[in-house]
Structure 1
Amino acid sequence: MALEESRTRWKYLDKDLERIGSVEYAAQSVGRPLVSPAVALAFIVLAAAVAGLFVDLDQTPVLIVAAAALGAYMALNIGANDVANNMGPAVGARVLTMGGALLVAAVFESAGALIAGGDVVGTISKGIIDPAGVASPEVFVWAMMGALLSSALWVNLATVIGAPVSTTHAVVGGVLGAGIAAAGLGAVDWPTMGAIAASWVISPFLGGSIAALFLAFIEWRIVKRPDLIAAARVWVPVLVGLMAGVFAAYIALKGLKHLAEVDLGLACLIGIGVGALAYGISVPIIRHRAAGLENRKRSLKPLFALPLVVSAGLLSFAHGANDVANAVGPLAAIVHVSLAGDVAAEVAIPTWVMVIGAFGISLGLFLFGPKLIRMVGDQITKLNPMRAYCVALSAAITVIVASWLGLPVSSTHIAVGGVFGVGFFREWDESRRTRRQDKHKKAKGHAPEERRRRKLVRRSHFMTIVAAWVVTVPATALLSAILFLVIGAIAG
């Protein structure tokens, strides 16, 4: 009898422990998604505290502290959204793990922002608003606050819905809307805005076209050769040298422009020298790696892996050097106006402001970046090392070509356009080969309905991303104008 009572007691105890364990597991499941927002909020508070340490709050408006918090929020969103364009192809091609990609991106983004992020930035992004048209320094501060908050909110929304958007365009839209609300339509430089709008089409088209052309070349000269390993020994060093040269020119032109004056001609000479050196070094390395590989497409992966990793790091470096201004530019303008009492066309960026931008981008990447990295690398179209190589190379080439032509382009649109380009090229190539096979066999092959379903680019993601690109500037402009009026009413 006592034994039965003991068993019954233990039975109920086991059930109670199981319930407690279930509750604990449920609490962990509910709490886990809140960890990243909590860490992000702590960083925003820390950024505001840092601003309080470096400025005299007895002399300076508390708006600087609020602006520092908004700058940190924007930096987090840039890391969550924009950096995915550099890391997505390498992760999608299984060359980098998610953890490795986050580490490489964080190191190179921070290095680019802190080493080559620049000491001077235009207070009105892209020169689209004339500072002289703003009524007073206080109104200018309100406009920058509205621009910063509206662009951060929009990029945050885009990240939630899984759409990689241009943070540069978001900031431009924010400045445009707040500037119009503060100074009227006459203060807008409409030709500059027209050039920015043209880049919506130019950036993805150039990026996609160049990526597709390189993929077609690789398919023609390597993949479809009877002995593709022998072809790879000849052409992969050429491609590695080309990538090294292009990225050397890209970094010299875009990533180091604040450290030294480098024009397009000098950047091209640097690229030619580095490319030739990389070709000479890679010939014996590729020959050694290709020894013993089977004559199949999968064997090409280790030959493209290292160049792809290096390209991802260099893209992140250049991105950190250029796009950190999207987070800290308006903040630097607010700090200058609050301390100096006047509106300047260009201002120096304090070191503490640059540090907030650099570390905010890296932290945002770690906390929220994996979602967009998977989107760009896995969910638009299937990538392998060769296709990812084409995307990375097209991004650098497109920026250089656009700089030569004097066209404003978006790195986000270029990279995602490159992914679209290789995907649509694969669709076209598969359709062409299917038609040839059907004609040769005198058979109908797949029915037209089946062929329409066999898409290698997911149309739902394509339409979502394109729609987000189109509405970024008008949406942030409208939101910024509203926030400017709200902030002005509260502060006034």
Structure 2
Amino acid sequence: MADNTPPPNQWRTLDRDLRRLSSLEYATNAVARPMVGFGVSLAFMVLAGIGAALFFSVDGNNVIVVAAAIFGAYMALNIGANDVANNMGPAVGANALTLGGAIVIAALFESAGALLAGGDVVSTISKGIIDPQSVADTQIFIWAMMAALISSALWVNLATWVGAPVSTTHSVVGGVMGAGIAAAGFAAVNWPTMGTIAASWVISPVLGGAIAAAFLAFIKAKIIYQDDKIAAARRWVPVLIGIMVGAFSAYLALKGLKKIIKIDMGTALIIGVILGAVAYVVTAPLIHRQSEGLENRNKSLKVLFSIPLVISAALLSFAHGANDVANAVGPLAAIVHASEFGEFAGKVSIPTWVMVIGAFGISFGLVLFGPKLIRMVGSQITKLNPMRAYCVALSAAITVIVASWLGLPVSSTHIAVGGVFGVGFYREWHMERRIKKLGLSRRAAAADAGIEPLPEQERRRRKLVRRSHFMTIIAAWVITVPAAALLSGVIFLALNGVFG
């Protein structure tokens, strides 16, 4: 009987061909993956335009509103890709949430915050950046808002591409300012307000970083460096959860319930204290039960902080959706109002369909493009664990409360990323301090801090906060307003020159 078995070299040829096919398949998938995100984004923007055409009908201005809705959808996508990462990054970096889980939670809570608690009135000129009376012609006002919308979206898109978390609110502020200057000169800008916003560039991250570092120092002193870590955790973790619940309750009462009832700072703080105390009473026995059987080491502490960290990330997303999304769709709402009534106003109501574009846009942007910035904030600036990430989330809520009390406009992006920097720089300072205080070798100190020991020369080169990311982010923050303003001014002149 004849042997039909192929010779060995024939098998080698087949294997080589299969490997080529596999390589081609992998290459095709790698190329196609970004195209899927681009295709879905384009489809969403087209649907936003169609929705605007269906829900808005004023003779002569339909085309303008449809175009504004498309750019509004583009802006919302960029918010999801950039801004939302700051809320979820620490939880993902600390391994309290998977990337997929973070995306699902953020999408749900951002949308819920925008649709349920989003302010129904927004300043169309971004908190008084320009004087509406200085832009006398309604058509010029529409082009100014259109330029602000396009420029801010383009700037946030560029920042996401280079891996820099920036403030979308500051991007809108810069866009409005630049369009206002191009339309009516420098006198149209409210410079004292701009000065306050510029001060917030420094105050937001420094305050957020200081509060996060202070809580990390407290956790180290009261829990991590105690002989009986579990007993210390039973005592203090419920207190920290109570502070978190109290801070978020006051924050949401102050910022997230504007549509239902207006609450002043004093009432919000009372609500926060009451709900914080309730949270302490409820969680104390739960933490005690959860800690039973845990070993007396730092790894066990991470278990106790994981669930509160997930809850805080969800609440941050809800609060962000309730506030920042309304600011982002403000220029779109201004265009809709001016097109419908033939006039402009300092404040307008946001139509439901405009808020829907903002809510769904951030969800799509997060799912399609958010992982890059989530990884950046969560793991590439400094190493985070649940305790450190919890400090970042807690500082974000407290900083907003303090800033609101002082009347300072702050950026949630700057606060959250500043909190990550604060935790990282505190770890650097703390390790050097322990070396001097205890006389430890650098290798022993690194091991004590949970860091892989490195040779002396490499240790001098490396820091616990990556300086390259630090400088990139700071530079992006500094140039956000002037870059968006310059871009907006150019776009306004082009629009007004072509269509004016």
TM range (shorter): over 0.9
Q: Which whole-Å CA distance do the structure 2 matches of 1:336 and 1:52 have between them?
A: 15
Q: Which whole-Å CA distance do the structure 2 matches of 1:6 and 1:455 have between them?
A: 59
**Distance 1:439-1:300 versus aligned 2 partners, 3 A rule:** closer
- Equivalent of 1:464, from 464, 472, 475? 472
The residue type equivalent to 1:186 in the other structure is A
TM-score w.r.t. length of structure 2: 0.94
**Distance 1:287-1:13 versus aligned 2 partners, 3 A rule:** closer
Aligned to 1:408: 409
Aligned to 1:395: 396
Aligned to 2:61: 60
Give yes or no for contact 1:89–1:383 (8 Å, CA) kept in 2.
yes
SS in 1 for 2:348: strand
Q: Which whole-Å CA distance do the structure 1 matches of 2:5 and 2:318 have between them?
A: 69
Aligned to 1:386: 387
Q: Which whole-Å CA distance do the structure 1 matches of 2:270 and 2:298 have between them?
A: 35
Give yes or no for contact 1:72–1:327 (8 Å, CA) kept in 2.
no
Give yes or no for contact 1:382–1:456 (8 Å, CA) kept in 2.
yes
Give yes or no for contact 2:48–2:357 (8 Å, CA) kept in 1.
yes
RMSD of Structure 2 on Structure 1 (CA): 2.3
The residue type equivalent to 1:191 in the other structure is P
1:375 and 2:392 equivalent?
A: no
Give yes or no for contact 2:58–2:339 (8 Å, CA) kept in 1.
no
Give yes or no for contact 1:118–1:259 (8 Å, CA) kept in 2.
no
After superposition, give the CA deviation of every residue in 1:228-248 in whole Å (9 maximum; x if it has no partner).
111111111111111111111
The residue type equivalent to 1:154 in the other structure is W
C-alpha displacement of 1:10: 8.6
Give yes or no for contact 2:431–2:445 (8 Å, CA) kept in 1.
no
Structure 2's unaligned 5+ residue stretches are: 447-453
Aligned to 2:236: 235
1:90 and 2:91 equivalent?
A: yes
C-alpha displacement of 1:27: 2.1
C-alpha displacement of 1:258: 2.7
C-alpha displacement of 1:90: 0.6
- Equivalent of 2:489, from 464, 478, 481? 481
After superposition, give the CA deviation of every residue in 1:256-287 in whole Å (9 maximum; x if it has no partner).
22321111100011011101101001111111
Q: Does 323-332 or 217-226 show the bigger shift?
A: 323-332
Aligned to 2:287: 286
SS in 1 for 2:144: helix
Q: How does 1:67-86 map to 2 (within 5 A)?
A: 67-86=68-87
C-alpha displacement of 1:24: 3.6
SS in 1 for 2:370: helix
TM-score w.r.t. length of structure 1: 0.95
Aligned to 1:271: 272
Aligned to 1:425: 426
1:455 and 2:455 equivalent?
A: no
Give yes or no for contact 1:147–1:171 (8 Å, CA) kept in 2.
yes
SS in 2 for 1:347: strand
SS in 2 for 1:56: coil
Q: Does 42-51 or 26-35 show the bigger shift?
A: 26-35
Q: Which whole-Å CA distance do the structure 2 matches of 1:444 and 1:125 have between them?
A: 49
C-alpha displacement of 1:355: 0.3
The residue type equivalent to 1:475 in the other structure is A
The percent identity for this pair of structures is 69
SS in 2 for 1:121: strand
Aligned to 1:170: 171
After superposition, give the CA deviation of every residue in 1:391-420 in whole Å (9 maximum; x if it has no partner).
011000000001111111111100000000
The residue type equivalent to 2:203 in the other structure is I
Give yes or no for contact 2:56–2:62 (8 Å, CA) kept in 1.
no
C-alpha displacement of 1:34: 1.2
Q: Which whole-Å CA distance do the structure 1 matches of 2:141 and 2:60 have between them?
A: 18
Q: How many positions carry a matched residue from both structures?
A: 491
SS in 1 for 2:75: helix
Q: How does 1:346-361 map to 2 (within 5 A)?
A: 346-361=347-362
After superposition, give the CA deviation of every residue in 1:64-97 in whole Å (9 maximum; x if it has no partner).
1110000000000001000011101111111011
Aligned to 2:450: none
Q: Which whole-Å CA distance do the structure 2 matches of 1:58 and 1:267 have between them?
A: 45
Q: Which whole-Å CA distance do the structure 1 matches of 2:388 and 2:45 have between them?
A: 38
**Distance 1:14-1:414 versus aligned 2 partners, 3 A rule:** closer
The residue type equivalent to 1:459 in the other structure is R
After superposition, give the CA deviation of every residue in 1:345-381 in whole Å (9 maximum; x if it has no partner).
1111111111000000111010011111111110000
